[in-house]
Amino acid sequence: MFPLKDNLPNRDIPIVTILLIAANVIVYLFLQPKSGIDLGGGSLDEGRLLHYAAVPYEVTHPGQHCAVVGGGSHIACGKGVGDGGFATPVTLLTAMFSHAGLLHLGGNMLFLWIFGANVEDSMGKVRYLLFYVLGGLAAAAGQIAVAPDAIVPTLGASGAVAAVLGGYLLLYPRAKVVTVVFLVLFFTIIEVPAIVFLGIWFGQQLLFGALDLTDPAGSGGGVAYFAHVGGFAFGLLAITLFATRRSEYAPSRGLAA
């Protein structure tokens, strides 16, 4: 299932959502360290990118840092390792705006554009930005909680976007999401209630995370499912504290916050 748009018009121009998307794109294209140039905008310099990513081990072991060593063959952690990078608390923020590739970036920004605008409408600009950042931090906490000693770097906006999805689900469960559904070699486009689309999405994160519990951070890299779970749970729990109104176009039987 792949979302294309929802059926709720925006009350105002979603300025913060647009700026967040722009910030993520600018960071990926121009600020993330890369080596070489290809059609994807340059291959990532994994050694230097580690300074931008959030590493659970660094959070749970204050004063110790991780770096790629051995000619890029593995990651080592300890005191005095990886000096010159951002302080660990700062990486929890820089990681939210860094991505592993164009598909990673594009997927996150598509979800943010579709679901973020109406959530922004529900709470205003400043509260929405705070909600987004706190959602990203909650997502990092979720991943760290299940893998406190993991040395695999995590990065991407998906945790903060997951918080937006959780908030949207509670605010607009009966909104319709225009969705591409792939059926083996064929596909169709249908309208799916938000509660169904986001419920399936969250169920997938729980399922894949549970299957990955023996190696929750994915020692070889991959998807940080528990970051998605943590962000989504934050959105569900916190949306009533942040949202002050819902779209006047929201289905009348939807839940208000």
pLDDT in tens, 177-197: 999 988 877 889 999 999 999
Q: Is residue 249 in some structural domain?
A: no
Instruction: Give how far Cα 94 sits from Cα of 36, 51, 156, 197, 209, Å.
Output: 22, 9, 9, 29, 24
What residue numbers bound the domain in which 231 lies?
2-242
Q: Is residue 126 in some structural domain?
A: yes
Q: Is residue 68 in some structural domain?
A: yes
State the total domains in the chain: 1
- Give the whole-angstrom CA distance, residue 213 versus residue 201: 18
Q: Is residue 14 in some structural domain?
A: yes
Q: What is the pLDDT of residue 219?
A: 43
Q: Is residue 48 in some structural domain?
A: yes
- Give the whole-angstrom CA distance, residue 20 versus residue 107: 14
Q: Is residue 253 in some structural domain?
A: no
CATH number at residue 169: 1.20.1540.10
Global pTM value: 0.88
Neighbours of 186 (CB within 10 A): 7
Work out the pLDDT band at 44, boundaries 50, 70, 90: low
